[in-house]
């Protein structure tokens, strides 16, 4: 179509892993929502200047590179989003899949509550695209909104290829924020979009000013080949993997963080540190503690290998650190802007040292390697040439085991307020706020195994944390047993 605008897919977005992942969020609301109101608000958002990138179609150009084709306008032939709606004349508790959505997790201790794969038929329509080729071949919009209505509840799901958005772009710093503002009639507060047709991060890492703190652990070409071969063999030998969602009570998290801080204070005091530095050194976030705590569970099966290196990669949102520099302040960036920050403990460190040590290492990694200069050095180290995947490098050693963590708490998926769409038999109702009672996610790929990846989905209105992850089949049983016994793994 001659009137289409062609936009190259940004380098971050076109990294091999992202276009081959379908990312979907499923939110359950304990009220009836009007699907037309939800649909029209999202279409209105996607039709705005800059935001219209979300309605583009993926294609390949003559060189095989991914590009977005943005139509001059959205209409019935070229819709802004794919919208589908299913209605059941029953309560969600009577539906064979809906009844498996957790409603009353253990209030006293963490518990495994669900397998997110169970909800696939609720989260996406039966003929939904499964991969990149499906989106291209069928000329589909990037965003999919799927609504399932019950008598007293509604399930709202949004899906896209990961190349379009990361977690923060999906949530409070992107799509869901804009969607809520449209629903609330606050269109004048929707922030402008930056870089929708320009790659603002293309020069990131091109001119580093210092060496990365983990540079000495950077693997060379042969080490990388050996690591990747080992990893590929593990996936081929143990093909089956399974995901679970864990609910972590608010009181448990608070107690875990408080005991961690007290341990750190005790260590600082015995070392004779100055009082003014004491609190700074002892401060850790709930996210730091959760990552440290869950690392023990995720490596339970490796406890008999004390000398094995565990590479813990924690996804780091670049928007804040780049705001006012590469990314204009006050703008929304609708692309991927995430890099992994690393720590490299040994298995013996994870189980023999106190949990506070591991949480402090996580905080130290963020403080020391989350600066603008260190981010530049990281990109220069691990992604020196975007056009050559063979140039990609990692920190660690060929025999290491890697864990990948993403914390979506700041994306605020449990705070997605869809109250303006609430209705009853008499029509639209006034609802002060309406947050989801349950959020599930799926990161699906037949090319890239999601094994050993974990996501802190968020913190709900009661302060409970929800964590999801994927492991080799069979490993979750041991974790579930440990959680039921009320023990901190390895303690």
Tens of pLDDT, residues 102-152: 998 988 899 999 999 999 999 999 999 999 999 999 999 999 999 999 999
Is 90 exceeded by the pLDDT of residue 318? yes
Vertex 286: Cα angle to 280 and 287 (nearest 5): 105
List of domains in the chain: 5-103+116-201+428-446 (3.30.559.10)
Residues 6+ positions from 410 with CB-CB distance below 8 Å: 168, 171, 172, 317
Mean predicted lDDT score pLDDT of the chain: 92
> Which of 434, 428, 453 minimizes the C-alpha distance to 443?
453
Tens of pLDDT, residues 92-101: 999 999 999 9
Q: Cα separation of 289 and 295, whole Å?
A: 10
447 versus 233: which is more confidently predicted? 233
Tens of pLDDT, residues 210-239: 999 999 999 998 999 999 999 888 888 888
Residue 386 has what pLDDT? 73
Q: Can you name the residues that pair with 22 across neighbouring β-strands?
A: 161, 444
Chain mean position to CA 245: 14
486 versus 79: which is more confidently predicted? 79
Residue 272 has what pLDDT? 53
Q: Cα separation of 46 and 365, whole Å?
A: 37
Residue 285: C-alpha distances to residues 146, 256, 349, 389 (Å): 35, 11, 20, 35
In this structure, are residues 393 and 218 in contact, taking their beta carbons and an 8 Å threshold? yes
Place of tokens 């923060």: 168
Could you tell me the two tokens for 266?
């005790």
Residue 335: C-alpha distances to residues 187, 196, 318, 326 (Å): 21, 8, 11, 13
Is 80 exceeded by the pLDDT of residue 39? yes
Residue 490 has what pLDDT? 46
| DSSP track, 310-333 | EEEEEEEE-HHHHBTTTB-TT-B-
Helix axes 250-270, 275-282, angle to 10 degrees: 140
Beta strands in 252-337 (DSSP E): 310-317
Stretch 296-319: mean pLDDT, rounded? 96
Residue 390 has what pLDDT? 76
Stretch 80-85: mean pLDDT, rounded? 97
Residue 1 has what pLDDT? 43
Which letter does DSSP use for residue 135 in this model? H
Residue 301: C-alpha distances to residues 295, 357, 435, 471, 477 (Å): 11, 21, 37, 11, 11
Q: Cα separation of 70 and 280, whole Å?
A: 49
pLDDT classification of 13: cutoffs 50, 70, 90: very high
Tens of pLDDT, residues 268-302: 655 555 555 666 778 999 999 999 999 999 999 99
Could you tell me the two tokens for 380?
């220069």
> Which of 348, 23, 5 minimizes the C-alpha distance to 167?
23
Is 60 exceeded by the pLDDT of residue 2? no
Is 70 exceeded by the pLDDT of residue 76? yes
Could you tell me the two tokens for 232?
């590929």
Is-above-0.85 flag for pTM?
Answer: yes
Burial of residue 351 (number of CB atoms within 10 Å: 0-12, 13-18, 19+): buried
> Which of 364, 358, 460 minimizes the C-alpha distance to 412?
460
Tens of pLDDT, residues 358-389: 999 999 999 999 999 999 999 999 988 777 77
First to last CA, the chain: 63
Stretch 55-59: mean pLDDT, rounded? 95
CB burial of 69-96 (b: ≥16 within 10 Å; e: otherwise) equals: bbbeebeeebbbbbbbeeeeeeebeebe
Residue 220: C-alpha distances to residues 338, 390, 391 (Å): 23, 11, 10
Residue 487 has what pLDDT? 62
Tell me the percentage of the chain whose pLDDT exceeds 90: 82
Tens of pLDDT, residues 403-433: 999 999 999 999 999 999 999 877 778 788 9
């Amino acid at each position: 179509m001659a009137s289409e605008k062609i936009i190259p897919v940004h380098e971050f977005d076109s990294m091999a892993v992202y276009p081959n992942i379908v990312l979907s969020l499923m939110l359950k609301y304990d009220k009836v929502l009007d699907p037309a109101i939800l649909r029209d608000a999202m279409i209105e958002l996607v039709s705005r200047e800059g935001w219209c990138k979300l309605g583009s179609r993926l294609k390949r150009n003559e060189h095989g590179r991914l590009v977005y084709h943005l139509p001059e306008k959205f209409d019935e032939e070229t819709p802004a989003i794919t919208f589908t709606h299913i209605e059941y004349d029953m309560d969600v508790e009577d539906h064979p899949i809906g009844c498996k959505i957790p409603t009353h997790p253990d209030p006293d201790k963490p518990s495994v509550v669900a397998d997110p794969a169970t909800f696939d038929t609720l989260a996406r329509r039966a003929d939904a695209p499964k991969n990149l080729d499906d989106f291209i071949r069928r000329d589909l919009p990037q965003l999919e909104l799927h609504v399932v209505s019950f008598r007293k509840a509604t399930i709202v799901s949004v899906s896209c290829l990961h190349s379009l958005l990361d977690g923060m772009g999906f949530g409070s710093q992107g799509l869901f924020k804009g969607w809520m503002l449209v629903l609330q009639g606050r269109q004048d507060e929707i922030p402008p979009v930056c870089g929708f047709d320009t790659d603002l991060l293309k020069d990131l890492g091109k001119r580093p000013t210092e060496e990365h703190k983990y540079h000495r652990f950077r693997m060379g070409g042969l080490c990388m080949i050996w690591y990747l071969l080992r990893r590929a063999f593990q996936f081929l030998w143990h093909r089956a993997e399974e995901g679970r969602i864990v609910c972590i009570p608010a009181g448990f998290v608070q107690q875990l963080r408080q005991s961690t801080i007290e341990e750190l204070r005790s260590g600082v005091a015995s070392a004779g540190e100055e009082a003014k530095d004491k609190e700074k050194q002892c401060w850790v976030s709930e996210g730091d503690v959760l990552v440290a705590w869950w690392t023990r569970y995720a490596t339970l099966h490796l406890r008999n290998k004390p000398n094995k290196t565990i590479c813990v990669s924690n996804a780091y949102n670049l928007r804040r650190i780049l705001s006012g520099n590469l990314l204009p302040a006050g703008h929304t960036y609708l692309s991927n802007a995430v890099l992994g920050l690393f720590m490299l403990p040994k298995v013996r460190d994870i189980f023999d040292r106190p949990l506070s040590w591991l949480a402090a290492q996580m905080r130290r990694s963020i403080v020391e390697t989350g600066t603008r200069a260190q981010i530049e050095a990281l990109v220069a180290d691990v992604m020196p040439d975007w056009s050559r995947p063979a140039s990609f490098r990692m920190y660690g050693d060929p025999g290491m085991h890697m864990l990948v963590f993403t914390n979506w708490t700041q994306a605020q998926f449990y705070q997605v307020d869809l109250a303006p769409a609430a209705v009853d038999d008499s029509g639209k109702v006034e609802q002060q706020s309406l947050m989801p009672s349950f959020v599930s996610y799926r990161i699906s790929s037949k090319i890239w195994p999601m094994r050993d990846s974990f996501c802190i989905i968020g913190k709900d209105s009661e302060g409970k944390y929800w964590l999801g992850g994927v492991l080799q089949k069979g490993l979750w049983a041991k974790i579930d047993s440990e959680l039921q016994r009320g023990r901190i793994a390895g303690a």
